[in-house]
Amino acid sequence: MNELLERLQRHFDVNNINVLKPGMTTLKIGKDSAEILIRELRDREGYTHLNFITCIDYIEDGIFTLVYMLHNYDSKHTLGVHVDIDREHEEMTSIHTLWAQAWTYQRELREMYGINFPGSPRLDEDFCLEGWDQIPPMRREFDTRVFSEERFGHREGRHSEVPRVHMKMELYPKRGGDEE
């Protein structure tokens, strides 16, 4: 395992190598060399299975972290490739030529985060949503609760509570929910 990481470090500018558990490692790589790294991992290192592609929204840092989860069936090792992209210029190289299901993930990311993958087939077709007219819903600045109440209304009589506050009121009613 370490040999692989050394090899990768020799050829690529990988950093933030993080061994999460036996059988799973994550590393970070720049946006431009990510596709070459992934191709290399697939063709040379035996990471032939793409588990998924997903995205984490770090709104406070202004970045999207794309996660490509690759699996090697021979060494039973999972490698997570993290790629940071700018939240404002959300664009990433498409890997739809490497795996057949990759374009589906990219289509989903396009819809849910608005990330562009130039060249990816059927990218702008509706995936889950239909007639969506807001900012992409999985972005953290999109408040789904507010949107839901505005768009779908609210039935009188229904209210939802924060469990912590509710339980405080239940358990310590006399003290007005004050625990101490």
Residue ranges that bind another protein, judged by CB under 8 A: 18, 20-21, 23-24, 26, 42-43, 48-52, 54, 56-57, 67, 69, 73, 76, 78, 80, 96-101, 103-105, 121-122, 126-134, 137-138, 140, 142, 144-145, 147-149, 151-155, 157-158, 160, 163-164, 167
Shortest gap between Cβ of 71 and another protein (angstroms)?
9
Nearer to another protein by C-beta: 11 or 154?
154
CA 41 centroid distance within chain: 20
Is the Cβ of residue 20 or residue 91 nearer to another protein in the bound state? 20
The per-type count for the chain, helices as H runs and strands as E runs, is: 5, 5
Min dist. Cβ of residue 64 to another protein (A): 11
Distance CA 4, CA 1 (A): 5
Judge contact between 29 and 12, C-beta under 8 A.
yes
Q: Which two tokens stand for residue 27?
A: 């590393």
Closer residue to another protein, CB minimum distance, 10 or 60 = 60
E strands of the chain, at which residues?
Answer: 14-21, 24-29, 49-58, 63-72, 77-86
CB 131 within 8 Å of CB 125 = no
Minimum Å gap between C-beta 158 and another protein is: 4
Q: How far is the CB of 142 from another protein (least distance, A)?
A: 7
